[in-house]
């Protein structure tokens, strides 16, 4: 499934269905085989399939491999004659619920998914962090159909993945109240535009660097 979200394209692939591993490189296969559980192996397979699907949707060739960079962000490996380094898109991967997601953009991008079954646990964690003064929640918006706690959590994760700095710095980001625009709910931090989307049993969020 392909979604156009702001300045990014998001591909969703089920982690419960069969995933074709024939496109994977030896490095990726080694990463998958070294996973700690069958669930994690399926997430890795689905995530890499989602990356290739998103790249195909924007007319980009498939990479030789999708590995992890030093900061945890996905690293696309291409022959420089096919895609010069300066033309590499930004990619982010997430997994939760029944789905894996990959976001692709020519601006720095982060994506996150949160299964709706986690709503109560996430709400408790966010309430504690906010009460302790360690975090800022996304402001609630009347009429928004999404759970405020899941919106906050996915925003933090997406912002952290966008920079590669992780969720801790993102937890204190000032985020505007979400508003409806073009059929989606969006908000802004000081550096990125946030867009939420839902599908099946997950809520997702992308964070894309604002244009200058």
Long-range contacts of 28-33 (CB under 8 A, 24+ apart): 28/65, 28/66, 28/67, 31/67, 31/68
2-106 has which fold? Ribosomal Protein L22; Chain A (3.90.470)
CA-closest candidate to residue 138, choices 47, 203, 82: 203
Domain ranges in the chain are 2-106, 112-209
**Mean pLDDT by groups of 10 residues along the chain of 212 residues:** 90 91 89 90 94 94 88 85 77 93 96 94 96 95 95 97 94 96 94 96 96 70
Handedness of CA 99, 87, 75, 82 (dihedral sign): positive
* Six-digit token string for 84: 């010069």
- C-alpha to C-alpha distance for 192 and 17, rounded to whole angstroms: 33
pTM of the model: 0.93
Helix (H) / strand (E) containing 193: strand 192-199
Closest C-alpha among 123, 4, 133, 108 to residue 58? 4
């Amino acid at each position: 499934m392909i979604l156009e979200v702001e300045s990014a394209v998001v591909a969703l692939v089920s982690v419960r269905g069969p995933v074709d591993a024939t496109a994977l490189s030896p490095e990726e296969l080694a990463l998958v085989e070294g996973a700690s559980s069958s669930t994690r192996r399926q997430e890795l397979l689905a995530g890499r399939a989602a990356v290739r699907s998103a790249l195909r949707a924007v007319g980009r060739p498939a990479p030789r491999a999708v590995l992890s960079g030093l900061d945890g962000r996905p690293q696309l490996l291409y022959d420089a004659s096919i895609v010069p380094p300066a033309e590499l898109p930004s990619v982010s991967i997430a997994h939760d619920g029944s789905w894996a997601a990959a976001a692709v953009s020519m601006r720095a991008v982060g994506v996150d998914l949160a299964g709706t079954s986690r709503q109560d646990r996430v709400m408790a964690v966010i309430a504690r962090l906010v009460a302790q003064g360690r975090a800022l929640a996304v402001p609630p918006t009347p009429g928004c159909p999404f759970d405020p706690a899941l919106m906050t959590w996915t925003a933090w994760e997406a912002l952290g993945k966008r920079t590669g700095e992780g969720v801790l710095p993102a937890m204190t980001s000032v985020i505007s109240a979400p508003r409806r625009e073009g059929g989606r709910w969006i908000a802004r931090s000081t550096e990125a535009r946030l867009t939420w989307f839902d599908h099946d049993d997950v809520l997702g969020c992308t964070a894309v660097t604002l244009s200058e």
